[in-house]
A = this chain, B = another copy of it.
Amino acid sequence: MGASKTDHFTEKQNQLAAIAKALGHPARVAIIEYLLSVDSCICGDIVNVLPLAQPTVSQHLKELKNAGIIKGSIEGNAICYCINEETLSILQAFFSHINNHLQIKKSNCC
């Protein structure tokens, strides 16, 4: 196996899982943090910042892009990446939802 049985779950569950999965690697977390740390979007220097080879970084960027977490646009012979707020807000809404529920019911065991 190795493949998730996505068709047995709701669209929403699959969507949330896909976004979370894309963030489930330290290099990709580092990319997001770097994108945040610079003032605008970045055109070029991600590879020099990460401790990974260029093809590997390119692959991680691709996955973040596929998950909709970042957007990239061509800027001369470089590519300009920035965070896609809409996608991350989906995850944030999920966590707000969780926290609301947890605070209301004040878990009565465990």
A-to-B contact residues, CB < 8 Å: 4-6, 8-10, 13-14, 16-18, 20-30, 32-33, 36, 39-41, 51-52, 71, 73, 80-83, 85, 88-89, 91-92, 95-99, 101-102, 105, 107-110
Contacts and interface: CB of A to CB of B under 8 A. Distances in A.
Nearest to A28: B17
The complex is assembled from copies of this chain, and their number is: 2
A20 B25 CA distance: 8
A39 B109 CA distance: 10
Given A13-B29, A25-B17, A107 B95 contact: no
A14 B36 CA distance: 17
Contact of A20 (B4, B21, B36, B107): B21
Contacts of A14: 26
